Amino acid sequence: MSLVAKLAHSLSTQMGVRSIEAMPTALAVIISVAKGIDASNPADMFSALAETLEPTDEADALTRVRDWLEDNELSAVQCKGIQGHLPVHVPADLDWSAELEALIDEARYREPFISISPRIGAAIGNSLNIPATETVACLFSGSATIAWGLALARPVTLHVTNWQTEIIMALLAHADGRPLRVDRRNPIESVPFDDGSFAFSDSHAPQHGAYDHLISVPPLGYRMKEGKAAGMLFEAWQVEQLAPRARKSFAAVVTDGLLFRESRNEVAFREQLCTMGGLTVTSLPPGIFGRASGVQVDLLRIDQQDSPDAAFIDGRRMERISRSGREQEELIVKQFENLGSAPSRTVGIEELAGSNFNLLPSRYIVSDEQARMDESLSTRHTVRLGDIAKILRPRAPQPVRSDPADDDVIALEIAVSDIFDGQVAVPSKELRFPAREQISLIKVRAHLDDILISVKGNVGAVGIVGFDAILDELLETPQIVVSQSLAIIRLDLGSPLLSPRVLAGILSSPQMRSKLQALAGGTTVPSLPISALQDLLIPIPDAEEAADIEGRLEELDAMQEDIQERISNRRIMQDALWREFWNMPAGQESE
């Protein structure tokens, strides 16, 4: 454990120092020793350290550090405890980046103040290829380690929104002599984690043209609640507010969800991005925010240039992913170093508009297998799925959670887990709905020959609804509805091109499932946009091919039924054997 992290742990667990102040306090102690400050007690030590600080103005975080050092609230017992840890040997070549990394690790599962490790932060900054002669500002606490890495080669300003981050980063920069200025003015005022309201302050944000480059890692997952932007992701809103202020480029880490969801606000935001010009989207590998995070993110970059095309880079596809946090960090750093040779593609504005301005790189950069599949499709007669079928996303009413009534409507809900080998089995989940929702339930009721496809979580599972198999096993038939994790593909009546069974067979092929999964995206849970299903190209077999496929599918179904029957018979024979062995009459249960 590092010097600072070890002392911070002792302060928090043994001396009663509040955890939010333990790390800044420990850091101040170690920096004081490193600077040769000799004091008889911690209070005098901190005062002496405060005198070495030279803030440039009131916005400089060193002013807050100085005030805090001169007016800390350590008790006499805590001061005595700190004294008990002194003297401590601090080497002259102490690696302050390693100390920062240890502090992040120490706080990660308790009170995380920085979410990206210094090595990954440096790799992100280096990937932007910013000349050392150009000015940079990093925005929000999430960008602290990016700023730390960039400040090795140039002056950098860091705007933060977290007291702990502000104190620690300002102290570290002072200790290391690194040209990193921490600005205590938040780029977006009022970023609470309770009510989700945000207020923009023009006086606090970087002024128009003050910096060549702005880099943002905003709070993720929050939505605006008031004003014209109500319902919009904060990630998008802060891009709108801050991107125009950079002279040359603006870069931001954003979640996958922002780049493909189909709400009106988010589609409009992405269209605006594309028309601004100079857009590059790079998908980032898993683990950017540490080994405990499953958040999928991308690096959005806007260069100030007139080009409506968008460039996409696949930085997520890795040859190997490790469960070890340290090893995965190494792999991520190497991934950033090799981004120049990563799969990429430039897409024109017409294609972007045709995909509803979906900006996920996986939508435009396909694997070798998908490329072969697309090449094969180009030689066949194809049709857009949305042109031959209705594609519905069920929105069932709220079921009854308590106090059931006699006139409640009972329904069985088909879930992804009810789909086996291209067929829909008897649903196992029973729900009750208020009688007044009877009409609403009709809209999400399954029909004979409906094709159900999972569009959330386990994307791409396909099954066809055959009521004969379901009704044979039900004595009384409640309504059968469809889970919101499934989409309904309902082939148009009288379609001369395909039968429901053949279409289900095509959709359930491994090649098609691979394509559907490539089209999916999501911050934590993969989700397939309905527009991607509508635009899916389906190969149309001729009449002879269709008849052959239908016959083979029926043969496969018969084989599956035979397999299930054999499994059932085997279980019966096995049970009879063991009962006979233990002299147990048929029907007698063991106790």
In whole angstroms, what is the distance from residue 51 CA to residue 59 CA?
A: 18
Residue 579 identity (one-letter amino acid): R
Across-strand partners of 251?
215, 301
Classify 479 as helix, strand or coil: strand
Answer for the pair 192, 228: CB distance below 8 angstroms, yes or no.
Answer: no
Q: Give me the half-sphere count of Cα atoms (radius 13 Å) on the Cβ side of residue 380.
A: 15
pLDDT computed for residue 474 by the predictor: 52
Amino acid occupying residue 392: L
Start-end of H helices in 410-484:
438-442, 467-471
How, if at all, do strands 310-314 and 297-303 pair? unpaired
3-state secondary structure 334-403: HHHHCHHHCCEEEECHHHHHHCCCCCCHHHHCCCHHHHHHHHHHHCCCEEEHHHHEEEECCCCCCCCCCC
Q: What letters, b where the CB count within 10 A reaches 16 and e where it falls short, cover 96-121?
A: bbebbbbbbbbbbeeebbbbbbbbbb
CB 115 within 8 A of CB 123: no
Give the per-residue pLDDT at 335: 94
* Alpha helix ranges (H) inside 16-85: 19-34, 42-51, 61-70, 76-84
Exposed (0-12), middle (13-18) or buried (19+): which is 49, by Cβ within 10 Å? Answer: buried
Handedness of CA 230, 116, 188, 260 (dihedral sign): negative
CB atoms within 10 A of CB 245: 18
CA distance 536 to 385: 6
Torsion over CA: 117, 123, 124, 125 (sign): positive
Whether the CB-CB separation of 236 and 260 falls below 8 Å is answered with no
- Choose among 309, 302, 291, 317: nearest CA to 254: 302
Q: Kindly state the tokens that stand for 583.
A: 């002299």
Q: Maximum CA pair distance of the chain? A: 95
CA 30 to CA 2: how far, in whole Å?
11
Element (H, E) at 411: strand 409-414
Q: Could you read off the pLDDT tens digit of each residue along the chain, which spans 591 residues?
A: 688 888 888 888 888 777 778 888 989 999 998 998 876 678 888 899 999 999 988 889 999 999 999 887 777 777 877 777 777 788 888 999 999 988 888 776 555 667 899 999 999 999 999 999 999 999 998 999 999 999 999 999 999 878 888 999 999 999 999 999 999 876 665 444 444 456 666 677 778 888 999 999 998 888 887 777 777 888 998 998 899 999 999 999 999 989 988 888 888 899 988 888 799 999 999 889 875 567 889 999 999 777 778 999 999 988 888 877 788 889 999 999 999 999 999 999 999 998 889 999 988 988 777 778 878 888 888 889 999 999 998 887 888 888 888 888 888 889 898 888 788 888 888 888 888 888 888 888 888 889 999 998 888 899 998 865 455 445 455 678 888 899 999 998 777 778 888 898 889 888 888 888 878 877 678 888 888 899 888 888 888 888 888 888 888 888 888 898 899 899 999 888 888 877 766 555 544
- pLDDT value of residue 312: 96
The answer to whether the beta carbons of residues 294 and 524 sit under 8 Å apart is yes
Rounded to 5 degrees, φ, ψ at 246 are -85, 140
Helix (H, G, I), strand (E, B) or coil at 537: strand
C-alpha distances out from residue 46 to 32, 37, 175, Å: 7, 9, 14
| Rounded distance between C-alpha atoms, residue 170 and residue 100, angstroms | 12
* Alpha-carbon distances of 56 from 70, 99, 166, 181, 211, rounded to whole Å: 18, 26, 15, 9, 18
CA-to-CA distance for 333 and 568, rounded, in angstroms?
Answer: 53
Instruction: Please name every residue paired with 149 in a beta bridge, in sequence order, or none if there are none.
Output: none
Residue 214 C-beta-side C-alpha neighbours within 13 Å: 27
Question: pLDDT value at position 114?
Answer: 76
| The predicted structure's pLDDT at residue 467 | 63
Length of the chain equals 591
The pLDDT score that the predictor gives to residue 587 is 56
Q: Is 253 helix (H, G, I), strand (E, B) or coil?
A: strand
Looking up tokens 């469809």 gives 482
In this structure, which amino acid lies at residue 380?
Answer: R
Structure tokens at 133: 């002669």
* Both structure tokens of 141: 């606490």
> What's the CA gap between 249 and 4, in Å, rounded?
36
What local confidence, expressed as pLDDT, does residue 190 receive?
A: 43
